[in-house]
Amino acid sequence: MRRGTLFIISLIVGIFLLTACGKNGPSKDAVLDPDIFGTWKQITEDGSASLEDIGIPSGYVFNEDGTGEDLFWALAFTYQTDKGTLYIDYEDASCDDSDYTYSIDGDVITMTRNAKDAITMLYRREPVETQPETETEG
């Protein structure tokens, strides 16, 4: 009897911890927004020079399989989208994962980091012909 009670308590605590850890992540119904697929390079709203304009790579690549790359840091990640929120999970454990509220208007994506600093960044989608090609096995 005591063993069964401990099991039930452990199960309840485990469920509670899993639920608490998932608060900032995507819901179980999260899907990839096909509008986000592609390569996005940083721009500025007021026309001032962005990092891209002065030759420093800054942007994101969002692949159709849920993988991507942060071009500024040259870091790989996986991502999900859920109801206007983008969740980025960096493969490098030393990097903080991020989530953003995002919207896409034509070829511009606006991303606002959901953190205390709430930085908003703009990126323009690169035309398909200038995007890096994926390697094919031959």
Kindly indicate the confidence band of residue 5, based on its pLDDT and cuts at 50, 70 and 90. very low
Q: What global pTM score does this model have?
A: 0.72
pLDDT by residue (tens digit) across 120-134?
999 999 998 755 555
Phi-psi region of 55 (alpha: psi -120 to 50; beta: other; left: phi over 0): left
Which segment, 17-31, 44-58, 79-93, is predicted with the most confidence on average? 79-93
What percent of the chain has a predicted confidence (pLDDT) above 90?
A: 61
- Return the structure tokens found at 123: 């990126």
- What domains appear along the chain, each with residue ranges and CATH number? 35-129 (2.40.128.10)
Q: Is 2 left (phi over 0), alpha (psi -120 to 50) or beta?
A: alpha
| pLDDT at residue 136 in the model | 54
